[in-house]
Structure 1
Amino acid sequence: MTQRSHADIVAERSQSASASSALTASWRRSLMRYGLDPGAGRRPDRLSHAELAERRLLMEQFLTCAAPQLDQLYTLVGLSGCNVLLTDATGVVLDQRVSDADAAQFRDWGLWQGADWSEAAQGTNGIGTCLAEGRQITIHRDEHFHTRNTGMSCMDAPIWGPDGRLLAALDVSSARADQTERYNRLIGAQVAQTARAIEAVYFRASFPKARIVLASDDPAEAATLLAVDKDDLAIGATRAARRALGLEREGDFRPRPAADLLGRDDSLSGFDKAERAAVARALARAEGNVSAAARALGIGRATLYRRMARLGLGER
């Protein structure tokens, strides 16, 4: 009996009314919405050097923040025949890390800077499907839509911007024919962790004058962050923090008291909070010396003690 081709299997399952998996849904989008042919052998389109330079310039701060994390991820996976790629929200590869020994193979596949790996262009693949569905994903070998892509495994995670919108995808693609799905899961976990780290670093860089507060009791939730200004107003939140705190999912962020969001005691009046903050700062600068703090505030030592007691500040 003749073995069916990958293209035949994709076409059959994509058109089956009973097939309802997430993978099949992506195959169906690729075939029916985008009109792609699973047997087509065309390489991904690539931007010109000028077009790529323009896109990189638009995301320069983000790429600068991400670079050390890409380097670190590559040190973990690069020797096992993996290519580390960072795309924009449209699926165009903006940066990568790959060994000289593996470069020719990945270049031939089109996994290279400037290439368009959106789902609309390449069908089901790690980068494109991650961006289309906004979730961490692994596309292993023959799960790809195009037959020409079935030699690779791709592990991806989305990166969300400070405005809560999808900003990029982080991808690790492997050229190893013997790479197992179990190993893919290990790499996928590292990709997800690195994506969250990039998200957190970029969020901090986007609010340089604010203090950054972890809005979760779980230390593992490194990307659940609030940006708080000098008036203790939350002026920004990561995607994870927006979700955890029930805030607007994306777009402009309406400033609000950080205490309200974090569930802290807010029984002091506005003036009392300002006075408490001023006294606390003076004590900190004086390293707990009440006499020195009182002189800095221009009040007597006894007066400062009374104010400390009223404001709930113990001697340090």
Structure 2
Amino acid sequence: MAKAPTAKAGDHVERVIGTLNSGSAAARSRLAASWQRSWLKHGLDPGLGAAAPEVDGDRLRVGREELAEVLAVAAPKLDDLFAMIGHCGCGILLTDAKGLVIDARAGAADADVFRAWGLAPGADWSEAAQGTNGIGTSLAEERALTIHRDQHYLAQNIGMSCIDAPVFGPDGGLIAALDVSSARADQTEGFNRLIEAMVTRVAQAIEADLFRNAFPKHRIVLASGADPASAAFLAVDGDDVVVGATREARRRHGLEPTGLIRPRPVVDLLGREGGPTGLEGAERAAVIRALTRAGGNVSEAARALGLGRATLYRRMKRLGIDERG
């Protein structure tokens, strides 16, 4: 089935070229900056009449294997989202961090249309492959966004609306994108804004479940001042030390943006106690906090506690604590 953009492709190409030739447009607009990337970094012609993205079966198989846990967590949420908006002619896609579609939902009446547009598992929707588009640009900029019709870079894609949100893993790294796409001519920008809010919430719910799965034996607490639906969570161990944090929690508390975090006492981040109880539990928690703040330096921890180094070593031995806390 051939694509049928509702706006004239030639007019769109002229608009894109005009923007590319503007020396200040990219600085004023994120959309223009993405168009500039599509042209300068990826070398894409906005008027290119290429076929829909081809399905790469090998990449799809590998992608599904690598994101098996993500797919397992996301599947029921994708089903729920599709049940709410699928009747509006929307399709739902989940991609990997490189823009490869690894799972999709579409109604029977719309399935052929989405396949013709390349909105199907195994298709590459990165900016490098398709220029400015919901999936690729959301991944490139690591933020939720909507690319509505002629905001796309390639003229062949200006008949669709794409609403996307990135998904971050338990280590804060980008792992996927959630997309809702539609080729309906009557889909308004106002309706897109409502869908964007839903897509963002579902992406955050996937992040939250992945984080809980990564820290099954830890207390999961809400970051300071966060909305419970925002996936801003901290993982706290039995000694009241924060050992993990979601992307949003890392941002709120100024923690390492990705990878392992340096352990911190939860009281240092949230300003409240909440760990072991009883005299021995309180003593253990105090020693753990001091060692954690000192990065495992026993001498520094002893000074903070007002103890001699030898005394702290004896207490550590009695409490079953090693130098790493």
Cα shift at 1:230:
2.2
CA deviations over 1:100-121 (Å, ceiling 9, x no partner): 1101111111011011100011
The yes-or-no answer on 1:16 pairing with 2:25 is: no
Q: Which amino acid aligns with 1:11?
A: I
The 8 Å contact of residues 56 and 123 in structure 2, kept in 1 or not, is answered as no
Q: Which residue of 2 aligns with 1:117?
A: 125
The 8 Å contact of residues 11 and 31 in structure 1, kept in 2 or not, is answered as no
Cα shift at 1:157:
0.7
The yes-or-no answer on 1:247 pairing with 2:251 is: no
Aligned partners of 1:50 and 1:3: how far apart in 2?
A: 33
Cα separation, partners in 2 of 1:228 and 1:38, compared to 1, 3 Å? same
Cα separation, partners in 2 of 1:275 and 1:28, compared to 1, 3 Å? closer
What SS does the aligned partner of 2:138 have?
Answer: helix
Q: Which amino acid aligns with 1:83?
A: G
Q: Which residue of 2 aligns with 1:271?
A: 280
Q: Which residue of 2 aligns with 1:282?
A: none
Q: Which residue of 2 aligns with 1:84?
A: 92
Q: Which residue of 2 aligns with 1:66?
A: 74
TM-score with structure 2 setting the length: 0.79
Structure 2: tracts of 5 or more residues without a match: 1-7, 286-325
The 8 Å contact of residues 44 and 116 in structure 1, kept in 2 or not, is answered as no
The 8 Å contact of residues 201 and 230 in structure 2, kept in 1 or not, is answered as no
Among residues 217, 226, 237, which one is paired with 1:229 in the alignment? 237
CA RMSD of aligned residues (A): 2.3
TM-score with structure 1 setting the length: 0.82
The 8 Å contact of residues 139 and 153 in structure 1, kept in 2 or not, is answered as yes
Among residues 74, 80, 100, which one is paired with 2:108 in the alignment? 100
The yes-or-no answer on 1:5 pairing with 2:14 is: no
Cα separation, partners in 2 of 1:56 and 1:188, compared to 1, 3 Å? same
* More displaced 10-residue stretch of structure 1: 35-44 or 158-167: 35-44
* More displaced 10-residue stretch of structure 1: 40-49 or 145-154: 40-49
The 8 Å contact of residues 15 and 28 in structure 1, kept in 2 or not, is answered as no
Aligned positions of 1:1-316 closer than 5 A: 5-19=11-25, 20-265=28-273, 271-273=280-282
Q: Which amino acid aligns with 1:75?
A: A
CA deviations over 1:46-65 (Å, ceiling 9, x no partner): 45323311211111111101
CA deviations over 1:242-288 (Å, ceiling 9, x no partner): 11111111112222222222111489998342689xxxxxxxxxxxx
Cα shift at 1:85:
0.5
What SS does the aligned partner of 1:79 have?
Answer: helix
* More displaced 10-residue stretch of structure 1: 115-124 or 214-223: 214-223
Aligned partners of 2:232 and 2:250: how far apart in 1?
A: 8
What SS does the aligned partner of 1:100 have?
Answer: coil
Structure 1: tracts of 5 or more residues without a match: 277-316
What SS does the aligned partner of 1:107 have?
Answer: helix
CA deviations over 1:148-187 (Å, ceiling 9, x no partner): 1011000011111111111111100012111111111111
Cα separation, partners in 2 of 1:6 and 1:236, compared to 1, 3 Å? same
Q: Which residue of 1 aligns with 2:3?
A: none
Cα shift at 1:79:
0.3
The 8 Å contact of residues 84 and 98 in structure 1, kept in 2 or not, is answered as yes
Bigger radius of gyration among the two: 1
Q: Which residue of 2 aligns with 1:308?
A: none
How many residues align? The count is 275
Task: Give the percent of matched residue pairs that are identical in Structure 1 and Structure 2.
Answer: 54
The 8 Å contact of residues 167 and 204 in structure 2, kept in 1 or not, is answered as yes
